[in-house]
């Protein structure tokens, strides 16, 4: 069994390859939930949905969010009603958010809600929200303290971030299911996800770091040079006091990682890192990286 720590783009690209080269029942994924948000009364868990849709074979892999060939009739009508949604929600995707919202309102834990949804989609991998505790990544900007999704989607990432703040009523706890998955794994892989908004929220959950101490942990950098492959990771790293490079990523995970992987093209040198082609421009490249990571995992 291998457990992966995942956000909603970089690690799912690796998982796309892993599902082709591993027994799918041997894959557990702990997914960031600090970007979750209630929209129009329903609950979006963007990273969980991306991982779930990927394994269900319905993910839109052009955007890495939402369902392939979804329609946006309800979203467009809501805008016509003069009540905009700043996130474009597909009709089938919205059905998942409605079902999730209803189950959460009934008091079902997000972990069990996710299991029910995954069962409905025929997902065989073990998809685990990082926590059942509600926690939100917010960023401090000239508009005040705003939800990360508002920064990235409504403001198109065009405003300066002064600080990154994790907001929750109680400190998030790792679930029993997450700890069991890590304990049952020979290797844990921190995929090439955003270190600040996707991986750190998972690592911050009580119990997770302790569970990782005697595991072989592999991390893959989402940076090549001083820019991420995509998305706003550089601005978030800088606002959190880390260099926006593989060196900064390695520092962010300090003491946790046994083997650090950076791209062959990366001009920045991380001591003792292994170099691989990490640029997953299509399914074949994802499979190739997955095979290489797996052979390093098997050699540990
Ligand atoms: P988010 O939840 O949508 O922000 O997605 P993640 O946190 O899972 O992934 C975002 C990160 O994935 C970005 O920082 C990108 O640099 C990284 N990324 C995307 N595609 C690739 C790729 O092909 N290779 C590598 N190494 N990183 C990638
Ligand atoms: N990202 C966008 O840039 N624009 C959107 O309209 C958008 C809609 C959306 C709907 C459902 C969903 O699960 C994700 C969606 N995303 C959209 C992705 C967005 O939430 C972020 O890229 C991720 O949260 C970053 O991790």
What pLDDT digit, counting tens, does each position of 247-274 carry? 999 999 989 999 999 999 999 999 999 9
Q: 78-125, pLDDT tens digit by residue?
A: 999 998 899 999 999 999 999 999 999 999 999 999 999 999 999 999
**Ligand sitting nearest the alpha carbon of 155:** 2
**Ligand sitting nearest the alpha carbon of 193:** 1
pLDDT confidence band for 296 (50 / 70 / 90)? very high
| 43 membership: H or E segment, kind and range | strand 42-44
**Residue 2 neighbours by CB distance under 10 Å:** 21
Q: Residue 72 has which token pair?
A: 């946006």
Q: Give the domain ranges of the chain.
A: 2-138+169-298
CA of 87, closest atom in ligand 2: 6
**Residue whose pair of structure tokens reads 């790293």 in the numeric block:** 237
Within 13 A of 240's CA, how many CA atoms are on the CB side? 26
CA of 8, closest atom in ligand 2: 26
**Residue whose pair of structure tokens reads 């601005």 in the numeric block:** 235
Q: Give the residues surrounding ligand 2 with Cβ less than 6 Å away.
A: 7-8, 35, 44, 46-47, 49, 65-66, 87-89, 93, 149, 152-153
Q: 147-187, pLDDT tens digit by residue?
A: 999 999 999 999 999 999 999 999 999 999 999 999 999 99
pLDDT confidence band for 300 (50 / 70 / 90)? confident
Rounded CA separation 174/168 (Å) = 14
In this structure, which residue's CA is closest to atom 10 in ligand 2? 89
pLDDT in the model for residue 190: 98
Length of the chain: 300
Residues near 62 by beta carbon (within 8 Å), at least 6 away in sequence: none
Residues near 156 by beta carbon (within 8 Å), at least 6 away in sequence: none
Quick one: fold of 2-138+169-298?
A: Rossmann fold (3.40.50)
**Ligand sitting nearest the alpha carbon of 275:** 1
């Amino acid at each position: 069994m291998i457990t992966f720590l995942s956000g909603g783009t970089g690690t799912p690209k690796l998982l796309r390859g892993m599902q082709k080269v591993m027994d799918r029942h041997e894959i557990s994924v702990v997914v960031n939930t600090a970007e979750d948000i209630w929209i129009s009364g329903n609950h979006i868990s963007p990273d969980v949905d991306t991982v779930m849709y990927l394994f269900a074979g319905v993910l839109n892999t052009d955007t890495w969010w939402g369902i392939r060939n979804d329609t946006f009739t309800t979203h467009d009508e809501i805008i016509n009603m003069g009540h905009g949604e700043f996130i474009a929600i597909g009709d089938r995707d919205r059905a998942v958010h409605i079902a999730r919202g209803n189950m959460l309102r009934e008091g079902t834990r997000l972990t069990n809600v996710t299991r029910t949804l995954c069962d409905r989609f025929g997902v065989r991998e073990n998809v685990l929200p990082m926590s059942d505790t509600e926690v939100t990544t917010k960023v401090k900007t000239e508009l005040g303290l705003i939800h990360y999704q508002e920064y990235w989607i409504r403001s198109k990432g065009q405003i300066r971030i002064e600080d990154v703040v994790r907001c929750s009523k109680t400190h998030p706890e790792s679930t029993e299911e997450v700890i069991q998955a890590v304990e049952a794994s020979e290797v844990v892989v921190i995929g090439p996800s955003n270190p600040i908004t996707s991986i750190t929220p998972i690592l911050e959950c009580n119990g997770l770091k302790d569970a990782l101490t005697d595991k072989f942990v592999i991390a893959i950098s989402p940076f090549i040079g001083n820019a991420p492959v995509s998305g706003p990771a550089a601005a978030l790293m800088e606002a959190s006091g880390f260099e926006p490079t593989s060196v900064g990523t390695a520092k962010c995970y300090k003491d946790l990682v046994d083997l650090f992987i950076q791209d062959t093209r990366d001009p920045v040198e991380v001591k003792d890192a292994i170099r691989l082609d990490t640029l997953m421009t299509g399914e074949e490249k994802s499979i190739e990286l997955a095979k290489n990571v797996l052979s390093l995992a098997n050699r540990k």
